[in-house]
Every structure is written in C-alpha cells, then in structure tokens.
Amino acid sequence: MDKSLLKNCLKYEFYEQNKTKLRASLFEDTLKEVYETIIGSHEKFAQDITPLEMFAFWKANNPTSTKSWSDDIEDTIHAISSAEDIHPDIAKDVIENLWRQNVGLDVANLGIKMSEGEISAMDDLNRLLDRVAEGYMPDDFGDPTTDDIYELLAVTSDENRWKFNIETLSRNVYGVGAGEFAVVFACPETGKSAFIVSLCAAPNGFCEQGAKVLYLGNEESTKRTKLRAIQSYTGLNREEIEFDPVAALSRYSGIKDSLIMKDIQEWDVQKMEAYIQKIKPDLVILDQADKLAVAGQFNAGHERLRELYRRLRETAKKYDCAVIGVSQASAEAENRTRLTMTMMEGSRVGKAAEADLIIGIGKLNSGEEDGPDNSRFLTVMKNKLSGFHGTIMCNIEPEISRYVV
C-alpha cells in the first residue's frame, strides 16, 4: 500500500492536493527517502515525475552515497513504479486516515510529556495544532460566481421553476425551482395535504409539467395520499373510482411514474437525503416537515427545529431540487382567513429565516356568512422569489383534492 501511495505522489496534481497531510513519518527506510526525493522534485519543477527522473534527481542530490544504498534506492523506485495502481480518491482517503492516526499519536505523546511537567511540550502542542489546522484547510475553493449575464438571467428566470397550477397564485408567485425551499402551513382540517396534492397531480401541476416529484409522508399513510392524487389528476371522486377502478388507474397512468410516494415515519434527515440521492427528484414534498428527526444534542425543541429547517434548505441546494415542507399553524390561526408569519408553529425559532417562500392557508369560520365553506385564502408572507406579498382567494374541491380559482 505504501508503494502504491507513493506511485500516486509521482503525479504533481495529486501531490499538491494532499501535501498538507503527507509526511515522511508515514513511510519507513528507503521509502522515506524516496518520498523526500519526490517532495524535492515537485517543489523544484512543479510537474509529474517519472521513476527514471526521480532516481536521477536523487543521484544528483546524493553524490556521496554508497553503491549499496544507491542500489537499495533504485530497487525501491522500481518497486514503486511496478506497484498496483489504486484510485486517487482511495489513495487520498488512506492518506487522510494515516494522517489522523499520526496526529493522534503525536497529541498523545505530547500529553504524556505535559503530564510529566515538560515545559516545552505546550509550545510543541501549539505548533502541532497549527499544522493540524493547515491540514484541514481546503486548497480547492472552486470558481467564483460567474459574470455571464445570460447565465445569471437563466438562473433567476421563472422558466427554470415548476409553475403553480393555481392561476391567481402563479400570476404573483410563478412557482419553485431547484435549490429553493418553500414552506406551506395551515391549521388541521384546512386542506394542507390537498393543496400540495393539487399542486403536484391536478391538471397542469408539477407532474404534468414533467417534474419528478418525491412525496415523503410521516403523518397520514401515503396510501391515502396516493388515492387523493388519483382523484386530483382524474377528477373522479371516490365513488366514481370504486365504480370502475381499472379505468381510473388507466387515466392516472399519465403521471403515475412522475409521482413517487413514500412513508417515512421515524426517518431522520440523513436517511431522507440518502433516499433523495437515490431517486434524484426534481421536487421533494415533506409532509409533515417538523416531524422529521435530526441527529444531534439539543437543549430544547426549538433548537432542533432551527437545525432541521437549516438542513432542509441545504438539502434543496445540495441535491439541486425544490423542497416544499408542510407545517402546522398555531392555535392563533384557528378560524382566520389571513394568516401571518407568527401563526406558523415554531415561527419564533428561526424556521422562517431558512425559507425562500412561505404560504399560509386560511379558511372562513363555518359560522360566517360572507363566503362558502370551501373558500381558501393563500397568504404569501415571505417571498424571495418574486417579491409579491398578499392574500389570494381560491376554492378547494375536497372530493377530488383540487384547489381551483
């Protein structure tokens, strides 16, 4: 393995990427001297080096070496050139692990010296920590943001977003796109899930636009939600589907492969991300977002929620997809038509800060006479996508899980 690592080090690019974690103490005897020769060559010439060039460089810098030692070095270089190839990523990982082990041993040894009262050990420890920090310092920061005006316009264009299929909403907030995080909240029995299902499955919804949608449910069974999606797409109510389920399923086949639903009770963020990486969706729905577990030690529930929503925003960016999280409204929102940010459950813990778009769904009190029970009020209270803020009225058709104007 040591010879294979040194074989990779003959490549200047690999050496540059890993030199902060390479050290002579990783190697023994002739391998150590060959490693030091590789360093000298790269630092002087800044290019790949062949085994023949390496031996010539060593000879030039060690003119008084004995023939025996020279033969040993030549044999070692030949063994390195004949060593089995290992992928650079694997070699990098091995070097990282060896470096950590060596740092651990150094820290342990210095700890013993400090416990024995050796004054200089503290200075040695500080120097070691400086080297450790250097080892963790990235050397590839990627390219700065482009100045290409056409690329900048394309990134922020509505054409790159999945359009909301509620006309009064899309007229003011076109939709959501890759890397964007939206939150939808409402009181129980208002129609949160129906709203999301309608956006995904109803005519002109995300699925019909060609989006691959991953619907992750950790509240009610996604089997119930899937039936709602069939109703929303086909426009058939439950009784009509029961009358001819084969025909209903045939009609639903138009988006069947575009809408993947999965129950995720007791999942955490890490498992969710692994599944997203496997499915590679264009858009992820998380219903309910607040119930997703997140690893870590938290002193209070609000700390967990803040970290959870930060991770959901990062998920959208990391996997280049849109993420819509569904959340509850607080009791303050009961029987309110126009919701405010403070009515979102957990709004005071930093959830709102992570979202690009927040929509609250309100409804009329069943006792009010100024509108039908199926009226719904979509209040856009945070909008970094188009800037619009205000309330939009629409109607829910609960028997087919559609929101319509």
- For the cut 80, the answer to whether the pLDDT of residue 184 exceeds it is yes
292 lies in some domain: yes
DSSP 322: E
**pLDDT at position 130, please?**
64
Q: C-alpha distances in angstroms, 91 versus 174, 204, 271?
A: 47, 50, 28
143 lies in some domain: no
- For the cut 80, the answer to whether the pLDDT of residue 141 exceeds it is no
Three-state SS for 62?
coil
- For the cut 90, the answer to whether the pLDDT of residue 89 exceeds it is no
141 lies in some domain: no
Instruction: Decide which of 326 and 144 is more confident.
Output: 326
Residues 196 and 58 in one domain: no
- For the cut 90, the answer to whether the pLDDT of residue 261 exceeds it is yes
Mean pLDDT of 360-371: 71
Looking up residue 205, the CATH number of its domain turns out to be 3.40.50.300
> Is the CB of residue 328 less than 8 Å from the CB of residue 185?
yes
Q: C-alpha distances in angstroms, 135 versus 7, 18, 141, 171, 317?
A: 21, 9, 15, 52, 27
**Which amino acid, one-letter code, is at 163?**
K
**What is the model's pTM?**
0.65
Total count of domains within the chain: 2
Mean pLDDT, all residues of the chain: 86
Residues 59 and 192 in one domain: no
Confidence of residue 220 (pLDDT cuts 50, 70, 90): confident
**pLDDT at position 111, please?**
78
Looking up residue 33, the CATH number of its domain turns out to be 1.10.860
**pLDDT at position 96, please?**
79
**pLDDT at position 134, please?**
55
Q: Which domain holds residue 318?
A: 151-404
68 lies in some domain: yes
CA angle at residue 246 from 243 to 248, to 5 degrees? 75
171-183 residue pLDDT tens? 999 999 999 999 9
- For the cut 60, the answer to whether the pLDDT of residue 370 exceeds it is no
How long, in residues, is the chain?
A: 405
Confidence of residue 137 (pLDDT cuts 50, 70, 90): very low
150-166 residue pLDDT tens? 888 877 777 778 999 99
Mean pLDDT of 133-148: 66
Phi, psi (degrees; rounded to nearest 5) at 379: -100, 120
Confidence of residue 21 (pLDDT cuts 50, 70, 90): confident
Confidence of residue 299 (pLDDT cuts 50, 70, 90): low
Determine the angle formed by the axes of helices 51-61 and 29-45, rounding to 10 degrees.
90
CA distance 197 to 402: 8
